[in-house]
A and B are shown apart, each in its own frame.
Chain A
């Protein structure tokens, strides 16, 4: 299978590899996928409590090149966005950006899940209710 240049670039030079302190209240951690399915992504975000802006994002991924590229791209995209803006990132955007073939769409879905899981974890820690989320989104 031929990989797109963007997938190859993220695979060869993955962005934001690493870990954040998951015990910190400012950090949200999303761990999605399963080893037996061949891909596991861990995406972490550090959110500014005042502005709700994601100031830092880190990932580690076990999976194929497209899974690595999808999660690497996700860390790039969430940085600088508020948590609610980040929730607007769709897997189809990732598919488009990386030119993923149909058999690799699940990699992009997993990356979207990872973003949602990390934000969900952060919200839970900070008791940000759904009502607040809706209010913020309505602004």
Chain B
């Protein structure tokens, strides 16, 4: 065993460490930073100041950003409510709708692979007397529309299903879900964080009523999010969860983060212009990465639907290698693992488990999140590095050795600890 094979030469133009974790956050696009800078110093006004030019200047900038964001999702500017980020947006949407429509019903439908900002919000509502149905997902990570139809009853007020999953990148059938909800007169909320600027979204064509958005996943700044709230057909009402000065049509009080909002707007404008070409490029890089890994290694599996997936996502399990030890070996590459050892709870990824994968497969998973600034040379380097480390760790793995000897691991009585 040599450590040499695990260290491929760094190709020209590649700087280490390489960032390939764009589902966690994305780097700020320099064009976005440029748009933001004037609003930190000279143009520092409060967008709610109605009686002087500093306020007007800030308000104009905020309204421009509202237009830019609305345009990317086919909405009108008045339907965009600014928040501090997608976690707040998810909380505001679900709690605000639950409170506002309490007299109509107390039943909410969501699904098991949602982000914790949705799941934990729903769990809290259960304590307050709401009923929540957590739909299962199929092995490909998608919900079954028949399950959704069956779960709807006369007390259902809200369906919350994410557009794209943050771990496995699978795209839920949002248009079909939206159509079904509108037929039944149920509000449809979607967590659109991962899909914004990555795949086309049209709130009208897809019958989306409420959508959570975040700036920092789309090459904008952290600390800024938005909630799209439909104003017509139907007009959706949301009870404010933060009380104060009545900003944002009374749905979200608090002085607006003007530079952040300007950045969010610019990021959406760029995404609208470049999404198509970027998606094509990222898909080709991702396919190249998958092909390289699969050509060199046995016992690798792609987790989740390949067909219905974000362009930049590759979630793969390298069976018989534990994820954290793999991350340790590729320490000049930033990716994520579904291994328990990398989580605060010491539980393997609940998303991967929901697909029906065994804990052992979840422990072996790596999420590659390709983004705007990744290059083909980086992908080649990462693939070579991963291949080297997986081979080295499999030389160390008693499981890989046993499988190679023809031993059926499922027949062994393991002592769970």
List the interface of chain A (C-beta within 8 A of B).
3, 11-14, 17, 19, 31-42, 60-65, 67-68, 103, 106, 109-110, 113
A62 and B399 contact, Cβ closer than 8 Å, known pairs A35-B360, A38-B322: yes
**Cα(A105)–Cα(B329), bound, Å:** 21
**Cα(A40)–Cα(B413), bound, Å:** 12
What is the minimal beta-carbon distance from B6 to any residue of chain A, in angstroms? 9
- Of the stretches B119-127, B131-139, B260-268, B340-348, the one at the interface is B340-348
Chain A facing B: main interface SS: mixed
Question: Does the CB pair B363–A13 fall under 8 Å?
Answer: no
Question: Does the CB pair B359–A65 fall under 8 Å?
Answer: no
List residues of chain B with CB within 8 A of the CB of A13: 3
A62 and B320 contact, Cβ closer than 8 Å, known pairs A33-B415, A35-B399, A106-B417: yes
Whether a CB of chain A sits under 8 angstroms from the CB of B377 is no
Question: Does the CB pair B3–A65 fall under 8 Å?
Answer: no
User: B401's closest neighbor in chain A, by CB?
Assistant: A60
Whether a CB of chain A sits under 8 angstroms from the CB of B398 is yes
Question: Does the CB pair B417–A61 fall under 8 Å?
Answer: no
Question: Does the CB pair B416–A34 fall under 8 Å?
Answer: yes
**Cα(A110)–Cα(B416), bound, Å:** 11
Question: Does the CB pair A40–B414 fall under 8 Å?
Answer: yes
| In-complex Cβ contact of A61 among B329, B340, B346, B398 (8 A) | B398
User: A41's closest neighbor in chain B, by CB?
Assistant: B398
**Cα(A103)–Cα(B399), bound, Å:** 24
**Cα(A32)–Cα(B398), bound, Å:** 11
Question: Does the CB pair A17–B339 fall under 8 Å?
Answer: no
User: B394's closest neighbor in chain A, by CB?
Assistant: A62
What is the minimal beta-carbon distance from A16 to any residue of chain B, in angstroms? 11
**Cα(A19)–Cα(B399), bound, Å:** 13
**Cα(A40)–Cα(B3), bound, Å:** 22
Question: Does the CB pair B399–A38 fall under 8 Å?
Answer: no
A36 and B414 contact, Cβ closer than 8 Å, known pairs A3-B328, A60-B396: yes
User: B399's closest neighbor in chain A, by CB?
Assistant: A62
List the interface of chain B (C-beta within 8 A of A).
1, 3, 320-322, 324-325, 328-329, 339-341, 346, 348, 358-360, 363, 395-401, 409, 412, 414-417
Question: Does the CB pair B322–A62 fall under 8 Å?
Answer: yes
List residues of chain A with CB within 8 A of the CB of B1: 17
Most buried by B among A11, A12, A34: A34
What is the minimal beta-carbon distance from B265 to any residue of chain A, in angstroms? 37
Question: Does the CB pair B398–A31 fall under 8 Å?
Answer: yes
Question: Does the CB pair B325–A63 fall under 8 Å?
Answer: yes
What is the minimal beta-carbon distance from A48 to any residue of chain B, in angstroms? 25
A61 and B397 contact, Cβ closer than 8 Å, known pairs A11-B325, A32-B415, A40-B414: yes
User: A11's closest neighbor in chain B, by CB?
Assistant: B328
**Cα(A12)–Cα(B396), bound, Å:** 11
**Cα(A66)–Cα(B321), bound, Å:** 14
| In-complex Cβ contact of A35 among B324, B329, B409 (8 A) | B409
**Cα(A41)–Cα(B396), bound, Å:** 10
Q: Could you list 17 A-B pairs, sorted by A, with CB under 8 Å?
A: A11-B329, A13-B3, A32-B417, A34-B416, A34-B417, A36-B358, A36-B360, A36-B363, A37-B417, A38-B322, A38-B360, A40-B398, A40-B414, A41-B398, A62-B320, A62-B399, A65-B328
User: A106's closest neighbor in chain B, by CB?
Assistant: B417
| In-complex Cβ contact of B363 among A31, A38, A60, A68 (8 A) | A38
Question: Does the CB pair B416–A68 fall under 8 Å?
Answer: no
List residues of chain B with CB within 8 A of the CB of A19: 401
